[in-house]
């Protein structure tokens, strides 16, 4: 078992999406543009594009917005030259962070990310400083739908997942990064309702947050990073009570 609550993070992210829907849609469109530019506009032949489109659909991005982003990315090789950059650092209290960005100018993004870390009391590290603490994994959250933990464990084995995090409302299944599309397709075939599906940097171990004040600073750092236009996702190895996330 994963030994921590991913569903609390899902609830926090959903709140952020609802509050900043326009910015979230823009980031998802950017990922589609970048994927289409790199591998063409056919999701069936471009796995990165298919993943980006699926993620956008899960966030309820309108179909025409997705289609425009694909056309924009596949229509010109001279525009929207985004590159993927991952920054690593520590939040106050020794919590490790992986900050995944998609940028058209790393000379803008790097100082922006560093400034955010400095402002909230964290430290931006060198490449490799925290990456060894995480593993890129398939992470698919589905509605538990009244099924027991044993039943979801059976489903996990059936679809090729290797870890299950069970809760009453949301169950999270984990697998190798290469298993993302087969796992997702198998769950859809079984009729499971997906809440969130992504390739994510999953911490190998979690670090307990010392107190509410440390939790407040950590969540402020994550929120400020996520508010940056170039930041796609922030992953961290914290463990804290769910109620601290809601304060």
Residue 225: per-residue pLDDT: 95
Q: Where are the domains of the chain?
A: 6-75
Categorize the per-residue pLDDT at 1 as very low, low, confident or very high, splitting at 50, 70 and 90: very low
Q: Where do runs of H (alpha helix) occur along the chain?
A: 6-19, 21-39, 47-58, 63-75, 106-120, 149-159, 180-189, 212-226, 242-245
- Residues 130 and 177: their CA atoms lie apart, in Å, by 19
User: Looking at the chain, how many residues does it have?
Assistant: 247
Q: What is the mean pLDDT of residues 50-79?
A: 85
* Sequence-ordered list of residues with C-beta below 8 angstroms from that of 81, at least 6 positions apart, any chain: 37, 104
Cβ-contact 43, 52 below 8 angstroms: no
- pLDDT over 60 at 72, yes or no: yes
Confidence band, pLDDT 50/70/90 cuts, at residue 6: low
Average pLDDT (55-81) is 83
Q: What is the C-alpha to C-alpha distance for residues 15 and 7, in angstroms, rounded to an integer?
A: 12
Rounded Cα distance between 190 and 79, Å, is: 41
How high is the pLDDT of residue 179? Answer: 93
> 4: pLDDT confidence band, cut at 50, 70 and 90?
very low
Q: Per-residue pLDDT tens for 178-201? A: 999 899 999 999 999 988 888 899
Contact 22, 68 (CB under 8 A): no
Give the number of other CB atoms < 10 A from CB of residue 110. 16
Instruction: Give 13-43 pLDDT, tens digit per residue.
Output: 555 555 577 788 899 999 999 999 888 899 8
In whole angstroms, what is the distance from residue 138 CA to residue 146 CA? Answer: 23
Report CA 25 to chain centroid distance, whole Å.
14
pLDDT at 141: 92
Return the structure tokens found at 217. Answer: 């600073």
Mean pLDDT computed over 66-72? 92
Which tens digit of pLDDT belongs to each residue from 110-150? 999 999 999 988 999 999 999 999 999 999 999 999 999 99
User: CB-side exposure of 199: number of CA atoms within 13 Å?
Assistant: 15
> What's the pLDDT band for 3 if we cut at 50, 70, 90?
very low
Out of 1.10.3720.10, 1.10.10.200, 2.40.50.180, 3.90.870.40, which CATH number does the structure's domain 6-75 have? 1.10.10.200
Pairing mode of beta strands 170-176, 207-208: unpaired
Q: Percentage of residues in the chain with pLDDT exceeding 90?
A: 64
* CA within 13 Å, CB half, 189: 9
């Amino acid at each position: 078992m994963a030994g921590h609550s991913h569903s609390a993070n899902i609830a926090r992210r959903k709140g952020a999406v609802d509050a900043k829907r326009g910015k979230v849609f823009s980031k998802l469109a950017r990922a589609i543009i970048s994927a289409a530019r790199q591998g063409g506009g056919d999701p069936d032949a471009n796995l990165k594009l298919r993943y980006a489109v699926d993620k956008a659909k899960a966030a309820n991005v309108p179909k025409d917005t997705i289609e425009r982003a694909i056309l924009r990315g596949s229509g010109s090789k001279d525009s929207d030259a985004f590159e993927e950059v991952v920054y690593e650092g520590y939040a106050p209290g020794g919590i490790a962070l992986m900050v995944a960005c998609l940028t058209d100018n790393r000379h803008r993004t790097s100082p922006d990310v560093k400034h955010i870390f400095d402002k909230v009391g964290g430290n931006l590290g060198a490449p490799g400083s925290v990456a060894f603490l995480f593993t890129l994994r398939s992470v698919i959250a589905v509605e538990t739908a009244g099924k027991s933990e044993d039943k979801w464990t059976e489903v996990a084995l059936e679809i090729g997942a290797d870890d299950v995090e069970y809760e009453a409302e949301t169950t999270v299944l984990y697998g190798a990064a290469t298993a993302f599309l087969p796992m997702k397709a198998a769950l859809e075939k079984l009729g499971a309702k997906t809440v969130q599906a992504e390739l994510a940097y999953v911490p190998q171990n979690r670090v307990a947050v010392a107190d509410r004040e440390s939790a407040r600073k950590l969540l402020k750092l994550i929120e400020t990073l996520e508010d940056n236009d170039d930041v796609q996702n922030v992953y961290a190895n914290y463990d804290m009570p769910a109620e601290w996330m809601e304060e």
